[in-house]
Amino acid sequence: MKIAIRTESKGKKGHPRTKRVQTVLAIEQYELLLQAAKQAGETVSALVRKAIETGPLAQELQRKRERAFEELLSLDAPVSDWEQMEKEIAEGAGRE
How do residues 23-67 score in pLDDT, each as one tens digit?
899 999 999 999 999 999 999 999 998 888 888 788 888 899 999
Instruction: Quote the pLDDT of residue 1.
Output: 54
DSSP letters of the chain?
Answer: -EEEEE---TTPPPPTT--EEEEE--HHHHHHHHHHHHHHTS-HHHHHHHHHHHSTTHHHHHHHHHHHHHHHHHT------HHHHHHHHHHHTT--
User: Is 52 part of any domain?
Assistant: yes
User: Is 24 part of any domain?
Assistant: yes
Write out the residue range of the structural domain in which residue 57 sits: 2-7+15-91
Q: What is the pLDDT of residues 68-94, one digit of tens each?
A: 999 988 987 877 888 888 888 898 887
- Is the pLDDT at 96 greater than 70? The verdict is no
User: Is 83 part of any domain?
Assistant: yes
What proportion of the chain, given as a percentage, has pLDDT over 70?
Answer: 82
User: Is 96 part of any domain?
Assistant: no
The number of distinct structural domains making up the chain is 1
